[in-house]
């Protein structure tokens, strides 16, 4: 191409234009001869065509119109093939150039109005599915207007049709409205999403055929172009969905999930529990000898022991490497079982008591609170980059003795764990300093020796709760990290942040082991499945994804939230996932199929915390509306069991909220930041007093 | 933090917005356009401050670029370049989606490593942890005390500008006081606390002050006292205790405010004196 330009340079150096024309015609003459034979043309298309285009571009630049016209006529080149002068070699603009269209800007409004009328006048059965098409077409048209520098029309288009879109798209539309010039498009994150992925719509075959017929009738090329090329239709056989069903899965930034997205098998069962040493107390209580190993597990969940042995849905124990249980861990587990036995059996009639910890003078200071699994420690992250750990049992927090003293202690003594702690500086609260920005989340390890915290400075810090010092600083995210969680088995932890990824780390890896990329907006919360094989993430793009730890694939993609997702929690059996967030609703998903099974709608403000009781009977939720609400989960799961759930049939979403709500407890004006059921089914809540 | 109710102002209800300077009105309009309806009043101030700082930085950079390109006036290209550089430096965006997917694909192909069993707390290799000390204690040679005295206050007629040692058999200080806080007129000399018993031998060494961190260019010869006596001397700079019998009259010159930056001089001075002392002894 460069040579062609050089040639045209030499051409221009010829004194008058007519000479130039002759020169070019001779060049073209040679070309024309070859065009008689199709095969020859196909063999030398690229070189000559590029040369031609370069010459044309050159002529256009120097405003040699007559020559240009003649050249065009001779070579029968169409306008479309001409690259525009504004195209640079960067990837961004070349992809953005898909927005280029030669259309008249004024027809966009008309085209959109036509589409609206089409949807409104369609049959009722098709109407709801068709109405999903309006938003992506609106976005596409607006961006085309902006890209082609029709700013006035773009602004008018936005003002006329923007407010008509659904409520949950208004945030995105506002961000789009700030993009009014082509330069804005290059740097905008939302543009990244719209150009790289296609908006997905699920339609039944009937609806799809109807739409195609209508478009053909109208003969509107612009609409046809946009709809055919830039939207992805996932067509399924079956009846068109009604309004409720359509509404249930609407809301995500990029549309709904395709059927293939949720096809992989997910092992949602729990891992087989290892044999535990018998604690001394229980030998007196249980009489039978052989039944002892089996009796331990049923205390927690009577169904589990049988299922764990031959549960087809449980992953094999070695699917991902998990740390071995040490003696201290086994002791801990048997203690947990013993406590669970003594716990209150919750049900519809027996509701848990709630013990609430209020943080005073911290209205804008506390960002997160977390209670350890055995309810002995409470950690809070603050905006001033501090992490404070309190002991909420009478035991105070002790530090380990310094090394010189530790050498002198007897390591073989029975109470070595007690002796190695220094009694002299035992306090109730410990301050951990190290981060450079607000701490957004903390997580205790299952053995309560380690604490993780993540912050706006992009680092995740591991703190030892024996020496109360910062031990490791994990740098991987370069942007704020919104959430971090230890795995229920320890050793692994997951983090998610503003860079739209979630990462899996091990405490002894200085780099992430897995990167889960796929969300289109920042990932707000992350949660491990009880069997540590899967990770669920909730994001600002209003979707929940489930990832497989062993190979990093996204196995479930669940849409339906109408606002950001702030909290996720798995049920104890591992089959259900409850998520809640800015849209004030709790959505319950069935992991096996990826379908939405229930929508619990009673809160009046955004929700920040969810927690299942230890026996899986009650789901507690709390948020900014100062309320803690209890939901009957046994009833819900019983009703779901009765139905026959399979992948293809979308179940009816249960929305009869009132039947599941067990209780609603208001605080004075304390928003609920976290909820935690103790081993004995006492509900602990924490929050900040708003004053 | 005070638990007072945060004071949000609606853009329409506050009087400040409608009657304030034009900048304030513009900023309020921008916030309204972007959908921010409720905000504390100081948000506008912070936004205006940011705007001013950003614009001035951009224009400064643009002027640099245009003068580099030997243009007479700032051009739109200069401003564009300045904006682009600043965006790449501070307003970075997360990586694009296809890059993330590619990185994820590569990372996820590596199988999960097996866990080394029973190694206690699983931590990364030492250089990735914060468990080792990141400092090294410097070994001390001989405990020495140096007391620096403002030259204007002590009259030694035979002080010369370059290194010359002046030995006094009978020091003017009969008893070394526990703590002396001194500051020279130039304000760069600091104090050392001493605790000795008896009458030590004081060697006076004068030297030009050559501390590189000295802000004033004045070079004054500073006589240095060295006390070469056995007892353990605790060395702690800046103990501002004035005793009743400081022979070195410096009560008026005790200026502690300037010593904050001069503490950095101490190691510098001490090192130099240590070296020189070695050369003498």
Residues of chain A scoring pLDDT < 50:
1-6, 8, 11-12, 14-21, 23-45, 79-91, 281-308
Q: E strands along A434-575, which residues?
A: 439-444, 450-455, 459-464, 469-475, 481-486, 492-497, 501-506, 514-517, 523-528, 534-539, 543-548, 554-559, 565-570
Chain A hits for B97, CB-CB cut-off 8 Å, are 192-193, 196-197, 500, 517, 520
Q: Higher confidence at residue B121 or residue A416?
A: B121
CA–CA separation, A437 and A481 (whole Å): 11
Which of B108, B116, B118 lies nearest to residue A552, judging by beta carbons?
B108
Smallest CA–CA distance, residue A443 to chain B, in Å, is: 17
**C-alpha angle A120-A122-A123 in degrees, rounded to nearest 5:** 125
Question: What distances in angstroms separate CA A281 from CA A289, A291, A328, A337, A350, one per listed residue?
Answer: 14, 16, 18, 12, 27
| Nearest residue to A236 via CA among A273, A204, A258, A264 | A204
Identify the residue whose tokens are 């077409």: A137
Say if residues A435 and A387 touch (Cβ distance below 8 Å).
yes
Identify the residue whose tokens are 């609920």: A672
Query: Per the CB < 8 Å rule, is A498 touching B101?
Result: no
Smallest CA–CA distance, residue A513 to chain B, in Å, is: 7
Nearest residue of chain B to residue A174 (CA atoms): B34
Residues 18-47 of B with CB under 8 A from A: 33-35
Give buried/exposed letters for A104-125 (b at 16+ CB in 10 A, else e). Answer: ebebbbebbebbbebbeebeeb
Q: How confident is the model at residue B253 (pLDDT cuts 50, 70, 90)?
A: very low
Pairing of strands B202-208, B164-167: antiparallel
CA–CA separation, A173 and B112 (whole Å): 41
Q: Does B4 touch chain A (CB under 8 A)?
A: yes
Q: CA-CA-CA-CA torsion for A222, A225, A230, A232, nearest 10 degrees?
A: 120
**End-to-end alpha-carbon separation of chain B, Å?**
59
Query: Per the CB < 8 Å rule, is B94 touching A174?
Result: no
Smallest CA–CA distance, residue B202 to chain A, in Å, is: 42
Q: Higher confidence at residue B245 or residue A208?
A: A208
Pairing of strands A450-455, A439-444: antiparallel
CA–CA separation, A524 and A541 (whole Å): 10
pLDDT given at position B120: 79
**Cβ atoms within 10 Å of B76's Cβ, excluding its own:** 8
CA–CA separation, B39 and B18 (whole Å): 15
Q: Higher confidence at residue B96 or residue A197?
A: B96
CA–CA separation, A107 and A627 (whole Å): 51
pLDDT given at position A106: 77
Chain B hits for A470, CB-CB cut-off 8 Å, are 130
DSSP code string of A136-151: HHHHHHHHHHHHTT-H
CA–CA separation, B280 and A163 (whole Å): 87
- Please give the DSSP secondary-structure letter assigned to residue A576: E
Which of A320, A449, A479 lies nearest to residue B94, judging by beta carbons?
A479
**Cβ atoms within 10 Å of A214's Cβ, excluding its own:** 19
* Sequence-ordered list of residues with C-beta below 8 angstroms from that of A118, at least 6 positions apart, any chain: A130, A214, A215, A218
Q: Does B240 touch chain A (CB under 8 A)?
A: no
Give buried/exposed letters for A151-185 (b at 16+ CB in 10 A, else e). Answer: eebbebbbeebbeeeeebbebbbeebbebbebeeb
Which of A472, A506, A514 lies nearest to residue B107, judging by beta carbons?
A514
What phi and psi, each to the nearest 5 degrees, are found at residue A535?
-130, 135
Mutating which of A91, A489, A508 best tests the B interface, going by the most B Cβ atoms within 10 A? A508
pLDDT given at position B66: 93
Which of A189, A516, A550 lies nearest to residue B112, judging by beta carbons?
A550
Query: Per the CB < 8 Å rule, is A517 touching B101?
Result: yes
Q: Does B135 touch chain A (CB under 8 A)?
A: no
CA–CA separation, A646 and A590 (whole Å): 11
CA–CA separation, A293 and A300 (whole Å): 13
Tokens in use for B102? 């590619």
Chain A hits for B95, CB-CB cut-off 8 Å, are 499
Q: Does B101 touch chain A (CB under 8 A)?
A: yes
What phi and psi, each to the nearest 5 degrees, are found at residue A430?
-125, 140
- 3-class DSSP state for residue A123? coil
Which of A189, A361, A464 lies nearest to residue B1, judging by beta carbons?
A361
Chain B hits for A174, CB-CB cut-off 8 Å, are 34-35
Q: How confident is the model at residue B209 (pLDDT cuts 50, 70, 90)?
A: very low
% helix, strand, coil for chain A, step of 5? 35, 25, 35
| Nearest residue to B94 via CA among A193, A516, A499, A539 | A499
CA–CA separation, B77 and A344 (whole Å): 72
**Cβ atoms within 10 Å of A188's Cβ, excluding its own:** 16
Question: What distances in angstroms separate CA B141 from CA B138, B227, B233, B281, one per listed residue?
Answer: 10, 15, 13, 13
**End-to-end alpha-carbon separation of chain A, Å?**
71
Task: Write out pLDDT tens, residues A192-241.
Answer: 666 666 788 888 888 888 888 888 887 777 777 778 777 888 888 877 77
Distance from CA of residue A269 to its chain's centroid?
Answer: 23
Pairing of strands A565-570, A554-559: unpaired
Residues 443-462 of A with CB under 8 A from B: 449-450, 462
Pairing of strands A231-236, A199-204: parallel
Q: How confident is the model at residue B145 (pLDDT cuts 50, 70, 90)?
A: low
Say if residues A547 and A553 touch (Cβ distance below 8 Å).
yes
Q: Higher confidence at residue A427 or residue B156?
A: A427
Question: What distances in angstroms separate CA A408 from CA A57, A411, A525, one per listed residue?
Answer: 85, 9, 45
pLDDT given at position A65: 81
pLDDT given at position B211: 42
- 3-class DSSP state for residue A492? strand
Mutating which of A515, A539, A548, A691 best tests the B interface, going by the most B Cβ atoms within 10 A? A515
Mutating which of B101, B128, B132 best tests the A interface, going by the most A Cβ atoms within 10 A? B128
Question: What distances in angstroms separate CA A510 from CA A166, A296, A472, one per listed residue?
Answer: 44, 38, 9
Smallest CA–CA distance, residue B14 to chain A, in Å, is: 23
The C-alpha R_g of chain B, in whole angstroms, comes to 32
**Cβ atoms within 10 Å of A63's Cβ, excluding its own:** 8
Which helix (H) or strand (E) segment holds residue A663: the answer is: strand A661-666
Helix A107-120, helix A151-161: angle, nearest 10: 20
Q: Does B142 touch chain A (CB under 8 A)?
A: no
Say if residues A282 and A338 touch (Cβ distance below 8 Å).
yes
Say if residues A681 and A614 touch (Cβ distance below 8 Å).
yes
The CA-based diameter of chain A, rounded to the nearest angstrom, is 113
CA–CA separation, A533 and A270 (whole Å): 10
Say if residues A426 and A397 touch (Cβ distance below 8 Å).
yes
Identify the residue whose tokens are 């001075």: B269
């Amino acid at each position: 191409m460069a040579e062609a330009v050089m040639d045209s340079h030499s051409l221009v150096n010829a004194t008058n234009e007519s000479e130039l024309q002759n020169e070019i015609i001779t060049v073209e003459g040679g070309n024309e001869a070859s065009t008689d034979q199709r095969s020859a043309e196909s063999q030398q298309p690229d070189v000559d065509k590029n040369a031609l285009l370069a010459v044309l571009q050159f002529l256009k630049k120097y405003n040699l119109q007559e020559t240009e016209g003649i050249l065009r006529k001779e070579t029968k080149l169409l306008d479309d093939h001409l690259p525009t002068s504004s195209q640079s070699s960067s990837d961004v603009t070349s992809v953005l150039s898909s927005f280029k269209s030669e259309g008249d800007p004024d027809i966009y409004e008309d085209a959109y109005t036509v589409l609206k009328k089409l949807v409104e006048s369609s049959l009722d059965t098709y109407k709801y599915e068709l109405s999903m098409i309006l938003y992506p077409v609106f976005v596409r048209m607006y961006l085309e207007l902006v890209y082609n520098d029709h700013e006035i029309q773009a602004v008018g288009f936005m003002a006329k049709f923007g407010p008509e879109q659904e409520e949950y798209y208004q945030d995105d539309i506002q961000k789009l409205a700030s993009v009014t010039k082509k330069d804005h498009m290059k740097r905008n994150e939302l543009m990244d999403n719209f150009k790289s992925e296609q908006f997905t719509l699920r339609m039944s075959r009937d609806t799809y055929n109807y739409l195609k017929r209508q478009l053909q009738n109208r003969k509107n090329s612009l609409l046809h172009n946009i709809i055919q090329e830039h939207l992805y239709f996932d067509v399924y056989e079956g009846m068109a969905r009604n309004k409720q069903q359509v509404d249930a899965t609407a809301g995500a930034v990029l549309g709904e999930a395709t059927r293939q997205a949720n096809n992989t098998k997910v092992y949602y069962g729990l891992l087989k529990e290892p044999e535990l040493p018998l604690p001394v107390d229980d030998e007196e209580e249980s009489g039978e000898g052989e039944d002892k190993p089996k009796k331990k597990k049923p205390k927690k969940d009577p169904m589990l022991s049988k299922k764990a042995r031959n549960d087809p849905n449980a992953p094999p124990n070695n699917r991902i490497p998990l740390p071995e249980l040490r003696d201290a861990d086994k002791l801990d587990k048997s203690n947990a079982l013993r406590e669970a036995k003594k716990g209150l059996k919750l049900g519809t009639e027996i509701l848990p008591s709630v013990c609430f910890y209020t943080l005073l003078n911290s209205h804008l200071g506390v960002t997160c609170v977390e209670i350890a699994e055995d309810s002995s420690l409470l950690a809070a992250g603050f905006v001033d980059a501090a992490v404070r750990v309190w002991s909420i049992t009478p035991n105070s927090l002790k530090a380990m003795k310094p090394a010189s003293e530790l050498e002198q202690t007897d390591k073989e003594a029975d109470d070595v764990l007690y002796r190695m702690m220094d009694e002299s500086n035992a306090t109730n609260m410990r301050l951990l300093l190290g981060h450079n920005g607000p701490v957004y989340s903390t997580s205790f390890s299952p053995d309560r020796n380690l604490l993780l915290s993540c912050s706006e400075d992009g680092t995740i810090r591991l703190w030892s709760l024996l020496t109360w010092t910062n031990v490791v600083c994990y740098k991987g995210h370069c942007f704020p990290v919104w959430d971090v969680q230890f795995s229920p088995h320890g050793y692994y932890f997951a983090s998610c942040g503003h860079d739209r990824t979630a990462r899996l780390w091990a405490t002894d890896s200085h780099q992430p082991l897995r990167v889960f990329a796929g969300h289109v907006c920042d990932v707000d919360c992350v949660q491990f499945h009880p069997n540590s094989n899967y990770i669920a993430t909730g994001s600002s793009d209003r979707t929940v994804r489930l990832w497989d730890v062993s190979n990093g694939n996204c196995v479930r993609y669940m849409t339906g939230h109408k606002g950001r997702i702030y909290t996720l929690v798995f049920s104890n059996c591992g089959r259900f996932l409850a998520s809640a967030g800015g849209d004030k609703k709790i959505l319950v998903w069935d992991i096996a199929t990826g379908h939405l099974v229930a929508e619990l709608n009673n809160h009046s403000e955004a929700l920040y915390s969810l927690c299942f009781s230890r026996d899986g009977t009650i789901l507690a939720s709390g948020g900014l509306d100062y309320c803690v609400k209890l939901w009957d989960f046994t009833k819900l799961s019983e009703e779901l069991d009765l139905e026959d759930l399979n992948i293809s049939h979308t179940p009816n979403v249960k929305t009869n909220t009132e039947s599941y709500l067990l209780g609603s407890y208001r605080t004075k004006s304390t928003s609920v930041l976290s909820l935690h059921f103790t081993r004995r089914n006492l509900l602990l809540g924490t929050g900040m007093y708003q004053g | 933090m005070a638990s007072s109710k945060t004071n949000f102002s609606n853009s329409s209800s506050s009087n400040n917005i409608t009657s304030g300077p034009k900048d304030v009105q513009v900023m309020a309009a921008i916030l309204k356009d972007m959908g921010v309806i409720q905000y504390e009043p100081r948000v506008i101030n912070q936004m205006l401050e940011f705007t001013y700082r950003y614009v001035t930085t951009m224009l400064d950079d643009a002027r640099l670029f245009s003068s580099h390109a030997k243009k007479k006036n700032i051009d739109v290209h200069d401003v564009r370049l300045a904006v682009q550089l600043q965006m790449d430096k501070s307003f970075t965006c997360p990586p694009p989606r296809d890059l993330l997917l590619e990185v994820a694909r590569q990372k996820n192909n590596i199988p999960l490593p097996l866990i080394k069993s029973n190694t206690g707390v699983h931590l990364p290799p030492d250089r990735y942890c914060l468990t080792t000390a990141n400092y090294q204690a410097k070994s001390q040679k001989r405990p020495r005390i140096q007391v620096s005295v403002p030259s204007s206050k002590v009259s030694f007629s035979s002080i010369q500008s370059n290194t010359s040692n002046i030995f006094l058999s009978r020091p003017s200080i009969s008893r070394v006081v526990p703590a002396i806080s001194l500051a020279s007129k130039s304000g760069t000399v600091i104090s050392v606390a001493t605790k000795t018993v008896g009458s030590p031998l004081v060697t006076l060494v004068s030297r030009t002050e050559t501390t590189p961190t000295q802000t004033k260019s004045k070079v004054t010869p500073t006589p240095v006292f060295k006390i070469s006596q056995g007892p353990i001397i605790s060395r702690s700079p800046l103990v501002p205790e004035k005793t009743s019998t400081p022979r070195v009259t410096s009560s008026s010159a005790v200026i502690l405010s300037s010593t904050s930056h001069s503490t950095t001089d101490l190691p510098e001075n001490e090192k130099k004196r240590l070296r020189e002392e070695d050369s003498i002894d």
